[in-house]
Amino acid sequence: MQAYPYIQSLEIDTPRLLLKEVNEEHFGQLYTNYSDEEAKRFLGITTDEALDTEKKKFYGGLTTFRTSVKFFMMREKKLGRVIGSCAFHAWFPMHSRTEIGYAMTDDTLKNKGYMSEALRYIIPFGFEHMGLNRIEAFIGQANIPSLSLIRKFGFTEEGTLRQHYYKDGDLQDSICFSLLKQEYDLLKLTPVFSHDN
């Protein structure tokens, strides 16, 4: 496995995954000190186009005066490689709220419970270590796996945001979900957030 000596950060250990925080400083180190091939390997992506997209996000400014991001790479322990990511993006520290996002980079590993395992640790981290009061999720109506996942963790559907995002050149609607700290406090001792699942 490629070593990245300058990328030292918080790690969350789960049964099958190592969730490694990558912040704005880490991305700067990655794009400055490593080749594009090393950067793609670290991020778990395979194409130059995907790397270009990630670089545009970074150079466009991950953190602003009001918003920030907390990003985690999902490394599968047995495989020894990145298989996805999850993040608290559009994080408004002054309002104690954020939007959660997640993606698998390897389609062959979908439907094996990896994302459920990651969120079982990431959601508590947000409430218990970042001081969040509200976590939001915006999900396309056709994204059945993501809708099922977010409902599994007790998120409440709040409504539909019309023509909310572009996908494949079309404006599409998002279903808005949220989970509040007071709701999480009731759920955290239930099987939903059990680390035995």
Total structural domains in the chain? 1
Phi and psi for 105 in degrees, rounded to 5?
-95, -10
Residue linked to tokens 């009001």: 66
- Range of the structural domain that residue 109 is part of: 11-193
Note whether residue 146 is domain-resident. Answer: yes
Residue 176, token pair as written in the block: 């808005």
Point out which residues pair with 127 in neighbouring strands: none
User: Left if phi > 0, otherwise alpha if psi is -120 to 50, otherwise beta: which for 34?
Assistant: beta
pTM summary value? 0.78
Partners of 146 in the β-ladder: none
Residue at 17 is within a domain: yes
Give the separation between CA 41 and CA 101, rounded to whole angstroms. Answer: 21
In terms of Cβ atoms closer than 10 Å to its own Cβ (0-12, 13-18, 19+), residue 195 is exposed
pLDDT value at position 57? Answer: 65
User: Kindly report the CA angle at 169 between 163 and 173, in degrees rounded to 5?
Assistant: 20
Question: What CATH number does the domain containing 137 carry?
Answer: 3.40.630.30
The verdict on residue 1 lying in a domain is no
Mean pLDDT, 10 residues at a time, the chain of 197 residues = 48 93 70 80 79 70 67 91 91 93 90 95 95 97 95 97 89 96 95 82
Residue 5 lies in a domain: no
Residue 38 lies in a domain: yes
Residue 128, domain member (yes or no): yes
pLDDT value, residue 9: 67
The three-state DSSP-derived secondary structure of 44-62 is CCCCHHHHHHHHHHHHCCC
CA angle 67, 68, 69 (to 5 degrees): 140
Q: Does residue 6 lie within any of the structural domains?
A: no
Q: Is 2 inside a domain boundary?
A: no
Q: By the 8 A CB rule, do 174 and 139 touch?
A: yes
Nearest to 130 by CA among 38, 68, 48, 58: 68
State how far the Cα of 5 lies from the Cα of 7, in Å rounded to an integer: 6
